[in-house]
Amino acid sequence: MKKQYDAVIVGAGFAGSVCARVLAEGGRRVLLLDRRDHIGGNAYDEKDESGVLIHKYGPHIFHTNDREVYEFLSRFTEWNGYQHRVLGRVGELSMPIPFNLDSLRIAYGEEEAASLEALLVQTYGRDTQITIGALRSSDDERLRALGEYVYEHIFLHYTAKQWGVPASEVDSSVTSRVPVRIGHDDRYFVDTYQGLPTDSFTALFERMLDHENITVTLGCDACERLTFANGEILFDGEVFLGDVIYSGMPDELFGYKYGRLPYRSLDFEFKTLDMDDFQGYGTVNYTMHEPYTRITEFKHMTGQRIEGKTTVLYEYPRSYEAKEGQIPYYAILNPENLALHARYREEAALYPRLRLLGRLAEYKYYNMDAITGEALRFARSIL
């Protein structure tokens, strides 16, 4: 170990794989470990028995305004140009999400919607974007009422399902991401660069990790091979003097010595249906009292043409209980949990060559483009 590798990276998702490629191109010999039997982390995709390309861990759509991130990933794939659109099922109504002027007409009818549209344009301007928080705190009674409608019908119940707590207890950073658009653009993302890899996310990762300085070992639990004691990192019982980049759960890495960090998880139900098209959209959100939050139909995103078959995915949020097969997806951001993560961060700081990177390791949410950009900067700082 001491002679063969300059860096050990734990986790073959975006954080670990991007770091591995940058370090390898900088002349570092990298060992990349993942306990799963595949690369790509939660972005991994594969064809099911019907030949439909599915995202095993939920839908992933790349979008960014960061040209550097786009150009880096474009070295390993072309993009299909998919523009994501989401339909919301609000009781018996179906409307675009984010809530826009078309949603307004569906919710209020033509006459009332026209009056509200004029008020919105007068107050905020046409083709602008505001948050539901701004509407709910407006000085205008009608705008406040509109904000309450969007909050209750689009955000409130959906968020309670997603996080398992009343919406009022969800961190305000989540609320701040819920937009209302004063225009007709029904794309879920408005970033300059959007799409899915034309082949697959898995193919993107295969090309990224295809470098003579990268060794990939799958089905490997790094926590069983890494030991931390007296400021030294041991790998397979030997002192390792290189860099260790860890993208997993920090509480697990240190044997849960301060307790477990809470996460939210998801249960997935895949269904293959004997039809060409199930719902007409890549994603339909169910924002009221259904037990699932959304249904994804992959063919609309990948552009596959498979006649007579389609695969859909139902998502059921749940608490992460560390049971076999469960996956921690989302950090639960509150002062108590952040304080617990800080203790693990302080523990990691006792080992200067240990770096925590990624949504699990840093206990925060990252989009794919954001973690790619962070990994690029991170790996270059090591070089």
In the chain, which residue ranges form alpha helices assigned H by DSSP? 14-25, 67-74, 101-108, 110-124, 132-136, 141-150, 157-163, 172-175, 201-208, 250-253, 299-302, 335-349, 368-382
All structural domains of the chain: 7-39+209-258+332-382 (3.40.50.720), 48-85+189-197+263-331 (no CATH), 98-186 (no CATH)
Give the chain's end-to-end CA distance (angstroms, integer). 20
Q: pLDDT digit string (tens) for 34-90?
A: 999 999 999 999 999 999 999 999 999 999 999 999 999 999 999 999 999 999 999
Of the CA atoms within 13 Å of residue 289, those in its CB half-sphere come to 2
Q: Would you give the DSSP letter of residue 151?
A: I
pTM exceeds 0.75, yes or no = yes
Confidence at residue 133, expressed as pLDDT on a 0 to 100 scale: 87
| Residues contacting 301, CB < 8 A, separation 6+ | 59, 61, 82, 84, 196, 282
Confidence at residue 169, expressed as pLDDT on a 0 to 100 scale: 75
Confidence at residue 175, expressed as pLDDT on a 0 to 100 scale: 61
Q: Kind of pairing, strands 283-286 and 214-218?
A: unpaired
Q: Which two tokens stand for residue 306?
A: 């498979």
Separation between Cα atoms, residue 273 and residue 316, nearest integer Å:
19
- pLDDT of 204 over the 70 cut: yes
Least confident of 11-20, 317-326, 371-380: 317-326
Mean pLDDT, rounded, for 18-27: 98
Name the average pLDDT for the chain. Answer: 95
Q: To the nearest whole percent, how much of the chain has pLDDT over 70?
A: 97
- pLDDT of 3 over the 70 cut: no
